[in-house]
């Protein structure tokens, strides 16, 4: 029987093993490229791969589970790692942070009367239902069952959020009850307060630290904590940050490769480590997260390149070569990058205004007062709120009260104002010119929920309009709601006319030979792009990244359909492509 024990070393089948791991998120990489990423991980000298498991990726809608569709087959990912002889570290916490929408928590929890990440029995009941689906897929793949999984994580950086030991114990007991046999660890910031808050005493759980520099200092902190608690376990950095994530309208952050090499070498000499990230990948669709800085929500970009050893699109980098030399003594590269191509332009073939195709996309839901997104059973995308605001007149004070995250106001389908962040709730004026039945439309975009910190339970995690719309000093009543989650863009009716404002624009790209490419988003304003129905993610003219990555497996030989939902009323006759991403602002760290 295979064994793994925790002593001062990881004892695997009786032999001490130093774990050299890299984070690869299957949910951020197209399934066709999983093997390539894992193969490059092993080539760099790693003997393990680590991945989170995002709850909202697998139970997007309540009690509807998906572990088999494209990109969702976690078992396949683990077995590919096994084929390559890699150990697997799984972090299946209900919460993952990871700059992922709501930290991996499903949006529908916001409609429940429960406190997330706590021992609240109502929350734990949802966790148990999820784990009853997830863990039976993974427990047969444990090392003790002759599979590759050697470690499971308990929660995730809980010491940076709470210290509810009853919650951690319930979490632990549930994992053991459902068949987890291999060692369980916690991972927290490597300082006493975080380690203490996130640790579960009285159970066979060992702590690890998260940091990206000053390894001697951080490991000394971790060692002292373990000695004070009487814990005997390997010294491991579970997240050695080799880069960083990026936000809209801020420079792309790059870390000096030589400095990283030296920092990793320092940690490698002290114990085991997991590089976060090995390959970052892409926040496809609406899955980008959001940082919180004071009262501000700072939304993250579509690319999760992270300045990792492998790029977002899977190319090896200077960091890869330098770290391979640290781990193996050789910097020779034998793996190959994916072919890339700047395709000829895609031609514009049709456009339609959102207002003209609205009812083909969404049937109106009536309510006396505006409802937030979650109460309309919608998690992501946009909502259009519509109301008849009466006869011709000037309304001096109009306010949208408590809305997230970005609102665009239209009067009789003509754009009047856009509000974002602190602008939302400020007064504006409307001149109503039609004698009767002036139509007010408010398009609200959910730009991604906060994934870390106290604002996980903030009211702003609920999207759309949470309160109402005031005309003068009164709340206006009688609203229609149009859900625009854009799950099925085949419903867009391109037989209708495009006049102005938000709309859908269709392009066709002819492909003779498939290769990775990037769509040049310069010249567009803000929105999302789809390739053959697959949501590539958001673009925004504020940058710093002005392109969207298109993996070759999403293309087909022949005619490819690209549909853009553009909210700023901008269109072009051609769509251009590049072989590399377009980045305008870079900050060296």
Question: What is residue 194's three-state secondary structure?
Answer: helix
Catalytic residues: 157, 239
**Around 70, how many Cα atoms within 13 Å sit in the side-chain half-sphere?**
8
Selection from 336, 465, 474, 334 nearest residue 398 by Cα: 474
Burial status of residue 573 (CB atoms within 10 A of its CB: 0-12, 13-18, 19 or more): exposed
Burial (0-12, 13-18, 19+ Cβ within 10 Å), 589: exposed
Pairing of strands 574-575, 346-353: antiparallel
Of 522, 251, 480, 505, give the one whose Cα is nearest residue 384. Answer: 480
Nearest Cα to Cα of residue 484 among 385, 382, 378? 382
Going 318 to 82 to 34 to 241, the CA torsion angle's sign is: negative
Q: What are the start-end ranges of the H helices in 431-581?
A: none
Task: Give the separation between CA 257 and CA 269, rounded to whole angstroms.
Answer: 18
CA distance 586 to 421: 24
Q: How many beta carbons lie within 10 A of that of residue 11, not counting itself?
A: 15
Do the Cβ atoms of 518 and 580 come closer than 8 Å? yes
Cβ atoms of 425 and 402 closer than 8 Å: yes
User: Do residues 519 and 577 make contact, with C-beta atoms less than 8 angstroms apart?
Assistant: yes
Q: What angle do CA 63, 66, 67 make, to 5 degrees?
A: 130
What does 249-265 look like in DSSP terms, one character per residue? TSPEEE--HHHHHHHHH
The angle at the Cα of 423, spanning 418 to 429, to the nearest 5 degrees, equals 65
Question: What's the half-sphere exposure (Cβ side, CA atoms, 13 Å) at 337?
Answer: 17
The b-or-e profile of 501-533 (16+ CB within 10 A means b, else e) is: bbbbbbbebebeebbbbbbbbeebbbbbbbbee
């Amino acid at each position: 029987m295979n064994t793994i024990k925790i002593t001062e070393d990881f004892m695997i089948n009786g032999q001490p093993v130093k774990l050299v791991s890299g984070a690869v998120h299957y949910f951020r990489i197209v399934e066709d490229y999983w093997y390539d990423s894992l193969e490059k991980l092993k080539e760099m000298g790693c003997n393990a791969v680590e991945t989170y498991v995002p709850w909202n990726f697998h139970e997007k809608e309540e009690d509807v589970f998906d572990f088999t569709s494209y990109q969702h087959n976690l078992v396949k990912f683990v077995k590919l790692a096994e084929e390559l002889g890699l150990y697997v570290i799984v972090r299946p916490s209900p919460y993952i942070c990871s700059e992922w929408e709501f930290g991996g928590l499903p949006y529908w929890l916001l409609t429940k009367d429960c406190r997330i990440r706590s021992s609240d029995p109502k929350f734990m009941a949802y966790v148990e239902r999820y784990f009853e689906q997830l863990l039976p897929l993974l427990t047969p793949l444990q090392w003790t069952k002759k599979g590759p999984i050697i470690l499971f994580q308990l929660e995730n950086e809980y010491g940076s959020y709470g210290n509810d030991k009853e919650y951690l114990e319930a979490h632990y007991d549930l994992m053991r009850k459902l068949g987890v046999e291999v060692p369980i660890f916690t991972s927290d910031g490597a300082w006493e307060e975080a380690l203490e808050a996130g640790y579960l005493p009285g159970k066979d759980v060992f702590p690890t630290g998260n940091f990206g520099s000053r390894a001697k200092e951080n490991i000394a902190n971790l060692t002292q904590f373990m000695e004070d608690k009487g814990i005997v376990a390997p010294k491991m950095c579970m997240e050695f940050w080799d880069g960083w994530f990026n936000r809209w309208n801020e420079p792309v952050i790059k870390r000096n490769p030589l400095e990283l090499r030296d920092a990793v070498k320092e940690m490698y000499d002290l114990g085991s480590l997991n590089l976060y990230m090995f390959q970052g990948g892409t926040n496809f669709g609406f899955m980008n997260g959001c940082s919180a800085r004071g009262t501000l929500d700072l939304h993250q970009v579509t690319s999760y390149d992270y300045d990792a050893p492998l790029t977002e699109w899977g190319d090896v980098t200077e960091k890869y070569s330098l770290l391979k030399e640290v781990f193996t003594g050789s910097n020779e590269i034998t793996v190959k990058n994916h072919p890339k191509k700047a395709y000829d332009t895609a031609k514009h073939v049709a456009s339609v205004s959102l207002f003209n195709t609205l009812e083909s996309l969404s049937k109106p839901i009536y309510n006396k007062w505006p409802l937030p997104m979650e109460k309309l059973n919608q998690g992501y995308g946009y909502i259009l709120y519509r109301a008849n605001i009466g006869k011709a007149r000037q309304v001096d004070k109009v306010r949208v009260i408590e809305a997230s995250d970005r609102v665009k106001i239209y009067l009789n389908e003509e754009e009047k104002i856009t509000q974002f962040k602190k602008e939302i709730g400020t007064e504006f004026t409307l001149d109503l010119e039609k004698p009767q039945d002036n139509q007010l439309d408010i398009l609200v975009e959910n730009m991604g929920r906060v994934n870390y910190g106290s604002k996980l339970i903030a009211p702003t995690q609920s999207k759309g309009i949470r309160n109402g719309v005031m005309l003068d000093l009164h709340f206006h009543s009688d609203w229609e709601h149009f859900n625009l989650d854009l799950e099925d863009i085949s419903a867009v009716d391109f037989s209708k006319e495009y006049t102005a404002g938000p709309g859908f624009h269709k392009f066709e790209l002819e492909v003779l030979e498939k290769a990775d490419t990037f769509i040049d988003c310069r010249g567009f304003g803000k929105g999302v792009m789809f390739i053959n129905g697959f949501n590539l993610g958001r673009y925004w003219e504020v940058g710093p990244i002005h392109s969207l990555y298109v993996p070759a497996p999403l293309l087909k030989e022949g005619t490819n359909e690209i549909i853009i939902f553009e909210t700023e009323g901008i269109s072009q006759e051609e769509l251009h492509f590049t072989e590399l991403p377009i980045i305008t602002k870079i900050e060296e760290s």
